[in-house]
Chain A
Amino acid sequence: MSEAQLVEALTAPHKLQYTYKRSVGPVMGRFFTALRDEGKILGVRREDGSVMCPPKEYDPDTAAAISEMVEVGPGGEVVSWAWVSEPRAKQPCDRPFAYALIKLDGADTPLLHAIDCGREDAIRTGMRVTAKLADERVGHITDIRCFEPEA
């Protein structure tokens, strides 16, 4: 085909969406229900007495069913983080923020969430942060709007 016969190719926006729904089960169900209705963050106690948050239905070492829920947070410590300098539309903050693993007070495992602290040099591993709840809570992890540096 010669150059002269080439047409200018059409382009169009194409949005690919998967509208997944996840069944949360009894333990995560209590986590989300307490978050929505009471603004509390719950962990689950393992057989050895340690606490997992986010909670799971089974002990990862012994596979025993576990269901004793304990309140953790809302404060905690940054275990690890990654800076997001150009947030995308569906990400938790509309300005640059950090995705971070946060070990909440009373928990022994970290929770992945967003830290809204404005600037990259305002975050460091080991810093104290606290959960900010969303004004309208629906039973979703976004009921914690974000974490912020502790005052």
Chain B
Amino acid sequence: MADEKGPVEIVQTPVELDYTYTAGQAATRFLKGVEQGKFLGQRCPVDGLVYVASRGSSPKHGVPTGPDTVEVSDKGTLISFSIVRIPSANLSVEPPFAAISVLLDGADSHLMHVLDECPLEEVRMGMRVEAVWLPKDQWTASMQNVTHFRPTGEPDAPFDSYKDHL
């Protein structure tokens, strides 16, 4: 028995914490929009910037956003990215893949997602991308409705169009 297995060198000591996450008002509104295939943001009443997904307050001015929601596009501009090459048990995507920041058209804040249907060496700032949605009958109030983003094939956005959002 000992000969076959060899000495013990590693033990696994997993830590596991079970939470119930409550989205709160702002994220609930956003997720209910996603449930209907829309990205909803909220506007800062001071400077008019649109946050998607809004946390319920303007980080610049410390005032509540809204109360109205603003629908933004599911297309946008890739403004930053990172190629993930290191596997991790909690990743639902096989590395290597591109983790991207997308500035949706009509939004002033960016959201993080995964870019697919694009060779990694072609991923670049300014690339125009769009959300790829699950079939409508599988939609839930979850960002998992969007499987990934993919290039639209449009010409790149000029740097000046997003430089203030980096």
A interface residue numbers (CB < 8 A to B): 1-2, 5-24, 29-30, 32-33, 36-38, 90, 139-141
- A36 CA to B30 CA, complexed, in Å: 52
Contact (Cβ within 8 A) A33 B141: no
Contact (Cβ within 8 A) A11 B1: no
Contact (Cβ within 8 A) A13 B20: yes
Contact (Cβ within 8 A) B8 A19: no
Q: How many A-B residue pairs have CB under 8 A?
A: 99
Please report whether the interface of chain B is mostly helix, strand, loop or mixed according to DSSP: mixed
Q: Interface code B6-41, partner A: CB below 8 Å = 1, 0 otherwise? A: 011111111111111111110111011000000000
- A12 CA to B31 CA, complexed, in Å: 12
Please report whether the interface of chain A is mostly helix, strand, loop or mixed according to DSSP: mixed
Q: Interface code B122-151, partner A: CB below 8 Å = 1, 0 otherwise? A: 000000000000000000011000000000
The answer, yes or no, to whether B5 is at the interface (CB within 8 Å) is: yes
The answer, yes or no, to whether B2 is at the interface (CB within 8 Å) is: yes
A residues near B25, Cβ cutoff 8 Å: 1, 6-7, 9
A residues near B141, Cβ cutoff 8 Å: 10
Residue of B nearest to A90 (CB): B16
Residue of A nearest to B16 (CB): A17
Contact (Cβ within 8 A) A20 B8: no
- A30 CA to B6 CA, complexed, in Å: 11
Contact (Cβ within 8 A) A23 B9: yes
Contact (Cβ within 8 A) A1 B64: yes
Assuming A22-B10, A24-B9, is B22 touching A11 (CB within 8 A)?
A: yes
- A5 CA to B66 CA, complexed, in Å: 11
